[in-house]
Structure 1
Amino acid sequence: MSIIKVSDQSFKSEVEAQGTGTVVVDFWAPWCAPCRMIAPVLEELDQEVGDKLKIAKLNVDDNPESASRYGVMSIPTLIVFKNGTPVDKIIGFQSKDALKNVIARHLS
């Protein structure tokens, strides 16, 4: 599965809908250096976990509504959703192994 881009308009159908499985949303902005550092890590994770996980990116500058609704105060923030419900939050740059450990807890 490839990483998708979501917006305030598509957030509900792509992330919050029942039956969407496990979705990791990367709240980021183009000017954020740690966000640019985590992007290749997410690409690698996407290749490794395949269809078990959907990864979505939401630009907080262009989509402030979703970021505000989930209390995103600093970026990068990754929120793990399970069938539309937020179940975990990771703030700041993390190694691939650290991300894998958090995500693995929520894969079914």
Structure 2
Amino acid sequence: MVLELTDQMFEETVSEGLTLVDFWAPWCGPCRMQAPVIESLAETFEGKMTVAKLDVDENKEQAVKYGIMSIPTLMLFKDGEVVEKMIGLQPEEKLEALIEEHLA
């Protein structure tokens, strides 16, 4: 299941383990295209990591803090630190490989 993040719960969520965050907005076409990939990754890695989405229109604080200028932007956090940042639509295979690398 994909966790819907808010500014208030963001830091606590990304502070432990591996977390993939999809910075998105409902009006963004590529974001809607990325959504099924994010859902699939959440299923694939359930119990191993957290997969989350942050609506940048509703939660501007974190979007500003992490310098989100284009969406979708995907960020992989490991124990609160950004370890990967990808801008634009990403293929599932690429994301899976990156996640596996950081889980190892």
Correspondences of 1:44-55 after superposition (within 5 Å): 44-55=40-51
Q: Of 81, 100, 105, which residue of structure 1 is paired with 2:96?
A: 100
Distance between the aligned counterparts of 1:102 and 1:35, measured in 2?
19
What TM-score does the superposition give when structure 2 sets the normalisation length?
A: 0.95
> 2:69 aligned with 1:73, yes or no?
yes
**2:27 alignment partner in structure 1:** 31
* Shift >2 Å, 4+ stretches: none
Unaligned runs of 5+ in 2: none
Letter in 2 for 1:68: V
Give the secondary-structure state (helix, strand or coil) at the position aligned to 2:22: strand
Distance between the aligned counterparts of 2:89 and 2:47, measured in 1?
24
Unaligned runs of 5+ in 1: none
What TM-score does the superposition give when structure 1 sets the normalisation length?
A: 0.91
Which string of whole-angstrom CA distances, capped at 9 and with x for unpartnered residues, describes residues 29-88 of structure 1?
A: 000001000110111111112211101110000111101111111000010000111111
What CA RMSD, in Å, does the superposition of the two structures yield over aligned residues? 1.0
Letter in 2 for 1:77: T
Which segment drifts farther, 41-50 or 70-79? Answer: 41-50
**2:57 alignment partner in structure 1:** 61
Paired-residue identity, %:
49
